[in-house]
Every structure is written in C-alpha cells, then in structure tokens.
Homo-oligomer: A and B are copies of this chain.
Amino acid sequence: MNVVVQNIERADQSIIDQLAECGVATVHEAQGRKGLLAANMRPIYAGARLAASAVTISAPPCDNWMVHVAIEQVRDGDILVLAPTSPSSAGYFGDLLATSMRARGGRGLIINAGVRDIADLTEMKFPVWSSAIFAEGTVKETLGSVNVPIVCAGALVNPGDVMIADDDGVCVVRREEAEAVLEKAKARVANEDDKRKRMAAGELGLDIYNMRQRLAEKGLKYV
C-alpha cells in the first residue's frame, strides 16, 4: 500500500521555465481559472518565483520520514509537494533537507504543513510555500508514499505536474496540458502589455473593454 514510484514523466523543461516567467495569476487564468492551491499557502520570504516538476509526498502527520525517501527521486528541476494524511503544522523540513535537495538539483518545497529553519532557508534562498512556519519536530516511524496523486491544499497534484509558485501563491498545471497552457499564458501576457500601456496613459478599463453599454443594460444608475 505504501509505494515509491520511481520513474515519472515530466514536462519539457523549457516549457516549465517559460511558465515560471508568466507567473501564478496569469497561468491560473490561462488554463480557465483552475489549479490554485488554497490561499493559506504562503512563501516564507518575498520575491521567489519558480516553476518545477512535482515529486509528490503523501506523509503521515508529524512524520517526515518520506521526505528522505522522496529526495532520492528528485532530479534537476523538481520540487517536492507534500500533503499530510491528517492536518499537521509540524516542521517537516529545515535547512539540512534543503541542503540535500539543492545537491540533487531540487528547486524548492510546497507543503500543506509546517517548515522551520526559516532564517537559514531565507539566507540560502531556498524557496518554500507552506501553510505554517513552526519549529515542531517530527518523527520517522510510519510509512507514506512518494509519487502518487495527492490532494494538497485543496488541489489535486499528480507526480510530474508542473507547479508554478510566486508571491501570489501556488498553481498546478497538468503535465500533459503544460504546452497548451503556456501558449494561452503567453498570449495573455502579450495582451496585458498592451492594456497596461493604455491604462498608464489614462485610458479607463470601462472604455478599453467596452463595458459601458453592458453596465447600462444590467441597470447601473449614475447619480
């Protein structure tokens, strides 16, 4: 019942890297307003932005044994995504594990639980999005699984899915949809660049998007 899936498929790295440039809000919109993890998933320091392939972990509450198991499965360009099987704010991950992750090419951590050694992780510029910062220790007593589908902070994440994360939070893109989503996200970025210029020049969204007639039809009154 507790398994480690060793060979997972990943999206093309250049697609992943371009998704990172688009950012969470744009990618989320581009794929039809879906894929966001819950709003309580916050970065431990401001300014991090990345995209990476998910190595998923289903772990018991307050037990970080599976993190060690998962790191062996990490390749260059991966990120760990951990969901506890029961709600937990314990500190599953700290600077030692980050050091190990980095040595494997791992890019960061997304965890619906706690993280610790914040000062060290910040200095290392090792990015983490978590639901808690808490020093509480964990044990290594009970098995979980690695690279199985998980529900993390309300979103389904399959191993190999692309995680986009920045100061706005975290978004998951299905591996097999990554390329199509990227196309839409790039179109969106281009379109926004034009809008931004017009707005900076003082033009109103009401006019740019032709909203006035529809507002009147719906019954909006100016008094």
Please give the residue numbers on chain A whose beta carbons come within 8 Å of chain B beta carbons, in ascending order: 1-6, 23-25, 28-29, 32-34, 36, 38-39, 42, 45-47, 49, 60-62, 65, 68-69, 71-72, 85-91, 94-97, 99-100, 102-104, 114, 116-119, 122, 132-137, 139-143, 149, 151, 154-156, 166-169, 171, 192, 195-196, 199-202, 204-206, 209, 211, 215, 218-223
For the complex with contacts A6-B222, A143-B218, 5 further pairs of A-B residues with Cβ separation under 8 Å are: A2-B218, A4-B220, A25-B91, A118-B168, A119-B168
Contact residue among B200, B202, B221 (Cβ-Cβ distance under 8 Å from A3) = B221
Copies in the complex: 6
Q: Which residues of B contact A39 (CB under 8 A)?
A: 87, 89, 114, 132-134, 136
Contact B25 A135 (CB under 8 A): yes
Of listed A3, A91, A139, A206, residue having the most chain B CB within 10 A: A91
Contact check, A206 vs B72: say whether CB atoms are below 8 A apart: yes
Are B154 and A156 in contact (CB-based, < 8 A)? no
Q: A39-B114, A39-B132 are in contact. Are A200 and B137 (CB under 8 A)?
A: no
